[in-house]
């Protein structure tokens, strides 16, 4: 069940007034309007929806949303997030965005929210940002600082395994994995343990550098945003999600979900993405 925190009440009020005028017959083709398909179907090409996963995950986490959006005629791409560091991951995503013509709805989950916050800057056809239980940092903030802003995260050092990996310059980076003993409760507590066992075994680790990298100027200051708060999140505390959503003036909904609502609550996530997409009409 969704609970909504309104941030666009004025806009919705204007829409309600317009609807009332149509129903009173002010010569605005009420009959034709009532028979038109919902959403943006009569208003030209639909925006491309770009879905960005976070750490300990991959693009397959968006499978349900991809299928639902494609069935509605939306072009969709779910690129692989490199998970090497915030600056380089954002630069990579920006390069993908720059190959897309027409409007873009950019969606990020978890760490993917920090990536879209940086990648969308300077890409003029990104018209909407959607955060799904995601980081939405301000300039100079890090994931490490945000995740500890409020109590409640179970993504703590004892829940993680560190594995070194070689860097191109000959140095050494550290990859972080969530341990099998912590994965279900910390990451996806509303999914069956059989499912989370597979997710844990196939998780894509991300570099420890991504936790400490400082974010740049945020795209949410200039691009309309939507945010889904996961009220049962044990990775990013819900209080921190609400704080980031409010700060971004995001149109906010809450869903009873673990950290992975795109898997456990795909209909709700798709609905929020469609709301953002249809606002571009």
Question: HEC string of the chain?
Answer: CCEEECCCHHHHHHHHHHHHHHHCCCCCCHHHHHHCCCCCCCCCCCCEEEEECCCCCCHHHHHHHHHHHHHCCCCEECCCCCCCCHHHHHHHHHHHHCCCCCCEEEEEECHHHHHHHHHCCCCCCEEEEEEECCCCCCCCCCHHHHHCCCCCCCCCHHHEEEEEEECCCCCEEEEEEECHHHHHHHHCCCCCHHHHHHHHHCCCCEECHHHHCCCCCCHHHCCCEEEEEECCCCCCCHHHHHHHHHHCCCEEEEECCCCCHHHHCHHHHHHHHHHHHHCCC
Check residue 45 and give its pLDDT. 87
In a domain, 31, yes or no: no
* Mean pLDDT value of segment 47-76: 98
Asked whether residue 141 carries a pLDDT value surpassing 90, the answer given is yes
CATH number of the domain that residue 246 is part of: 3.40.50.1820
In a domain, 55, yes or no: yes
In a domain, 146, yes or no: yes
In a domain, 37, yes or no: no
* Mean pLDDT value of segment 228-256: 98
What is the model's pTM? 0.86
Check residue 27 and give its pLDDT. 37
Q: pLDDT tens digits, residue range 157-211?
A: 999 999 999 999 999 999 999 999 999 999 999 999 999 999 999 999 999 999 9
Asked whether residue 7 carries a pLDDT value surpassing 80, the answer given is no
As a whole number, the mean pLDDT across the chain is 89
In a domain, 141, yes or no: yes
Asked whether residue 113 carries a pLDDT value surpassing 50, the answer given is yes
* Mean pLDDT value of segment 232-254: 98
Q: pLDDT tens digits, residue range 257-279?
A: 999 999 999 999 999 999 999 99
| Domain of 125, in residue numbers | 44-278
In a domain, 83, yes or no: yes
Check residue 281 and give its pLDDT. 77
Band (38; pLDDT cuts 50, 70, 90): very low
Q: pLDDT tens digits, residue range 206-235?
A: 999 999 999 999 999 999 999 999 999 999
How many distinct structural domains can be found in the chain?
1
């Amino acid at each position: 069940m969704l609970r909504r925190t309104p941030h666009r009440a004025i806009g919705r009020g204007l829409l309600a007034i317009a609807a009332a005028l149509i129903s009173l017959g002010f010569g605005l083709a009420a009959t034709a309007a009532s028979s038109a398909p919902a959403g943006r179907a009569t208003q030209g090409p639909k925006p491309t929806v770009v879905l960005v996963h976070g750490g300990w995950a991959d693009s397959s986490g968006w499978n349900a949303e991809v299928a639902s959006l494609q069935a509605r005629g939306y072009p969709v791409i779910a690129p692989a997030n490199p998970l090497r560091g915030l600056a380089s991951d954002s630069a990579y995503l920006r390069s993908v965005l720059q190959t897309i013509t027409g409007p873009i709805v950019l969606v990020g989950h978890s760490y993917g929210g920090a990536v879209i916050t940086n990648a969308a800057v300077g890409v003029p056809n990104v018209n909407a940002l959607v955060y799904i239980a995601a980081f939405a940092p301000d300039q100079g903030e890090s994931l490490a600082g945000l995740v500890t802003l409020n109590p409640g995260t179970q993504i703590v050092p004892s829940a993680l395994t560190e594995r070194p990996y070689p860097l191109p310059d000959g140095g050494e980076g550290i990859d972080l994995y969530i341990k099998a003993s912590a994965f279900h409760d910390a990451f996806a507590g509303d999914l069956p343990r059989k499912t989370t066992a597979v997710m844990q075994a196939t998780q894509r680790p991300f570099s420890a550098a991504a936790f400490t990298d400082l974010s740049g100027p945020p795209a949410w200051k200039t691009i309309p945003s939507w945010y889904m708060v996961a009220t049962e999140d044990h990775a990013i505390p819900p209080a921190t999600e609400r704080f980031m959503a409010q700060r971004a003036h995001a149109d906010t909904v809450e869903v009873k979900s673990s950290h992975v609502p795109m898997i456990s609550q795909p209909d709700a996530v798709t609905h929020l993405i469609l709301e953002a997409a249809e606002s571009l009409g």
